[in-house]
Structure 1
Amino acid sequence: MGDNTAFEEEHRVYIGSFTSAGGRGITTAALDPATGALTELSTTDVLADPSYLVEGVHIGVLYAVSESSEGMVGAFVADGRGLRPLGAPVPVGGAGPTHLAEAWPWLLTAHYTSGGVGAVAITEDGSLTGPPRVLHHRGSGPDPERQEGPHAHQVLPDPGGRWVLSVDLGTDSVRVCALDEDAGTLRPHSETALTPGNGPRHLVFHPDGEVAYLVNELRPLLTVCRWDAEAGRLEPVAEVPLAAEGASGAAPGVVPGVVPGAVRAYPSAVVVAHDGRFVWVAVRGADTLLTLSLADGPEKPRLTGAVDCGGHWPRDLALDPRHNRLYAANERSGDVTWFDVDPETGQPRRAGSLPVPAATCVLLG
């Protein structure tokens, strides 16, 4: 199974981890569709700190960023029970890349440490080639420790594929760019200013393509935005608390009744149900998974429940729409925990876990 079509096989899961913190690189696991259980098949650590993974939609290749000072990206293909590299890793032109997305024939990367986004060319067989094309961000925010400069945390195409959005934690903004498909260059088009100090981290679109949900890391808030695909503009319309502020006996950022004491919340990942009925958010520190109902409309998410994430420091969250399950990568406890989701209420129920040291990302194949 050395060809690229191997990624079309069902029931494979790929898990990224920090090798610098004891992780084993990329773990390949088998998924039991009846129970959701994961079974480790193999690991590969040929790429340092592969913290985020994405599967190419045009060619069945797995791509991974190396969240290191050098900033690299690597390509892999399925080979038997595991993965093999497809060519050598390629520099991204920035430090500490945390996210990537395919915009054929380019692989887009977000550079957290150096603050910018870039594009690396994808060849016909799915391998990568340089040099990278890089757009540097400018600006800062009010938090002197986390927002002293730009920190791009995510980059992704819009649902129509016309625009590229980059979420910058350091500048409290989302930039919209046009991608030159021939040259790979990113041209700034618009920039959406968010509430200063929010520290935006990740964005996801509602299935209707007209609403986006932006999870903020420095304040436990979900920003609801309207997306104008024709104009290429993102407009914030509401902020929904992801924790109760000022609750009795709780410091700001605490989810009452879930985690006792003064625990600050750091939201990390957000996913939307494919039928557009629910939003789920992972919150580190509080170590919870939150459910928000969209019964009142896409622009009016309502917090309806919180459950323990099954570990510590949930960095990533993935949805299996085929079997209505959620998978949380708990970085500091070193595991991936899965949850069955109630189809009526959207509430997750813990079903099991797989030990994965320093887990950072879950990708359902």
Structure 2
Amino acid sequence: MTDRVRGTARHLIFTGTYEPQDRPSIYTYIFDAARERLEPGPVYTGIAHPSFLAVDARSQRLFAVSETVTEGHVVSFHYHPQTGELSEISSQPTGGTEPCHLSVDETGRWLLAVNYRTGSVCLYPIDSNGAIQPMRQQIVHDGQSVHVERQESSHPHAIFPIPGTPLWLVPDLGADRLYVYELDTDMGQLSRKSITNTAPGTGPRHVAFHPASPWMYVVNELASSVTRYAFDPLTGELTSFETTPAVPESYRGDNTTADIHIEDDGSFLFVSNRGHDSIAEYRVEEDGTLSPIGWTPSGGQVPRNFAILPGTPYLLVANQASNNLVLMRQSDDGKLKESGIDRTVPSPVCIQAIRMDTAIAPQ
């Protein structure tokens, strides 16, 4: 087992947290792969519980949810491309509670978000200055499933663009469903294309898309597993294939999965486990199936979110309960190990990494 070459890429990294409005809640770092350094940058105070972030790198804008039990909000910022310093542009209410995920469309003109607690999908225009305009459309989901505490009603957990299509995927943890919508970017309207039921008690949460094939991998929070689907880019219909466990067969403790990412070349896939407190590693075979490689401790407790840092063999993990970010290094066979870099951040729950234009050569 040999480590991959470090690379010379640099990344601007934003970390969202569950901190209140009067405390620093968005943290910035700059990662220099050549020197294997993770240096702190500016912090932002003034938004409550920015639990998920999205980036429009072309316009140097950052978007955040404010995940509160009262009416939630979405917020836009401009960021400095070299330092990460944030300047707030605008805020809009989400018409619901506990918004937990958002995405920007490829044109940079539309922001899409979901309210976890009240079960709705929201669509907003973004003007040329980065200001979020009043909500254009809200779609309310219904449904429930078998888990008494977690599936008493609809709980959409994310909204992702399906690459190369006008389609958007919404995993609904509460209803055990995968919704596919089509976005009309001229009219500013979402229309439903398909609904796929998952196995009862699965709790679909996040998704990773294969870079070369029409496959997507959905991480199932409540079942601690990953299911592979094929998608039809025209109809939005999904076809399920195999489901792969996210924890070792011998593990008997409590666990929920959280995040999932695939390498840019489609070679390896990773999943975060909360309870087992690990990152699961898989090799992606030519036919799309996943072959487990192993499980590496996350370096803390409750690894909620993580990010692969493109152009490097590194992965950055946000451990929510132990208040730390841990940098991991990937070997040629996909296996991870801790790099020794560990940074304290209060209740980190989201990482967004932006590759910077300039690279510093190693000394």
Q: What is the TM-score with the length of structure 1 in the denominator?
A: 0.89
Report how far residue 119 of structure 1 moved: 0.9
Structure 2, gaps ≥5 residues long: 1-8, 355-363
Check conservation: 1:22, 1:357, Cα contact below 8 A: no
Q: 1:278 aligns with which of 268, 273, 276?
A: 268
Structure 1 residue 129: deviation in Å? 1.1
Amino acid at match of 1:267: T
| 1:147-166 Cα deviation digits (max 9, x unpaired) | 00100001011101311111
Hey, what does 1:5 align to over in structure 2? none
- The letter for the 1-side match of 2:65 is V
Rounded to whole Å, the distance in 2 between the matches of 1:23 and 1:311 is 23
Contact 1:92 1:132 in 2 (8 A): no
Q: Partner of 2:358 in structure 1?
A: none
- Determine helix, strand or coil for the equivalent of 1:237: strand
Aligned AA (1:284): R
2:277 is aligned, of 284, 287, 305, to 287
SS of the equivalent of 2:137 reads: strand
- Contact kept, 8 Å, 1:159 with 1:209, in 2: the verdict is no
Q: Does 1:214 align with 2:218?
A: yes
Structure 1 residue 21: Cα displacement: 10
- CA drift at 1:11: 2.6
Q: Distance in 1 between matches of 2:22 and 2:322?
A: 12
Alpha-carbon distance between aligned partners in 1 of 2:15 and 2:349, rounded to the nearest angstrom: 7
Tell me the amino acid that sits aligned with residue 232 of structure 2: D
Cα separation, 2, equivalents of 1:268 and 1:150? 18
Q: Give the equivalent residue in structure 2 for 1:178.
A: 182
User: Aligned partners of 1:267 and 1:23: how far apart in 2?
Assistant: 28
Distance 2:37 2:320 in 1: 19
Q: Is the 8 A contact 1:210 1:227 kept in 2?
A: yes
Deviations 1:209-233 (A, max 9, x none): 4000000111111011111112211
The residue type equivalent to 2:280 in the other structure is L
Partner secondary structure for residue 264 of structure 2: coil
> Deviations along 1:279-338, whole A, 9 cap, x unmatched?
0011011100110011x3252101111110011100001001211211111111011111
Counting matched residue pairs gives 341
Q: Distance in 2 between matches of 1:233 and 1:158?
A: 12
Q: Deviations over 1:169-223 (max 9, x none)?
A: 0011110111122342221110011111010110110111400000011111101
The corresponding residue for 1:307 is 296
Q: CA deviation at 1:23?
A: 6.6
Alpha-carbon displacement from aligned partner over 1:108-133 (angstroms, at most 9, x marks no partner): 00111111211111101222111342
- Paired residues of 2:22 and 2:45 also in contact (CA < 8 A): no
Contact 1:98 1:110 (C-alpha < 8 Å) held by counterparts: yes
Other-structure match for 1:348 = 336
Determine if the alignment matches structure 1 residue 24 to structure 2 residue 14: no
Gaps in structure 1 of 5+ consecutive residues: 1-8, 252-262
Over 3 Å counting, the alpha-carbon distance change for 1:34 and 1:202 in structure 2 is same
TM-score by length of 2: 0.90
C-alpha distance in 2 between matches for 1:328 and 1:117: 28
Residues 54 and 16 from structure 1, CA distance in 2 versus in 1: closer, same or farther, beyond 3 angstroms?
same
CA distance in 2, matches of 1:311, 1:178: 39
Q: Which residue of structure 1 aligns with residue 102 of structure 2?
A: 100
Residue number among 139, 142, 166 corresponding to 1:138 in the alignment: 142
Residues 150, 46 of structure 1: alpha-carbon distance in 2 compared, 3 angstrom cutoff: same
Where does residue 73 of structure 2 map in the other structure? 72
C-alpha separation in 2, matches of 1:60 and 1:243: 38
Match for residue 167 of structure 1?
171
Give the AA of the match of 1:277: S
Contact 2:21-2:45 within 8 A present in 1 as well: no
Deviation of 1:58 after TM superposition, in Å, equals: 4.6
AA in 2 matched with 1:152 = P
Quickly say closer, same or farther: Cα 1:36–1:267, change in 2 above 3 A. Answer: farther
Contact 1:36 1:325 in 2 (8 A): no
Higher relative contact order (CA 8 A, sep 6+): 2
Q: Determine the C-alpha separation between the residues in 2 that align with 1:122 and 1:21.
A: 24
Conserved in 1, the CA contact under 8 Å of 2:304 and 2:319?
A: yes
Alignment match, 1:357: 346
Contact 1:19 1:45 in 2 (8 A): no
Q: 1:71·1:92 contact (CA, 8 Å) conserved in 2?
A: yes
Tell me whether 351-360 or 19-28 shows the greater mean CA deviation.
19-28
Between the two proteins, what is the percent identity of the paired residues? 30
Distance 1:232 1:180 in 2: 14
More moved, 275-284 vs 103-112: 103-112
- Distance apart, 1:42 and its partner CA: 1.7
Return structure 1 stretches of 4+ with deviation > 4 angstroms. none
Equivalent position of 1:260 in the other structure: none
Q: Report if aligned partners of 2:89, 2:130 keep a CA contact under 8 Å in 1.
A: no
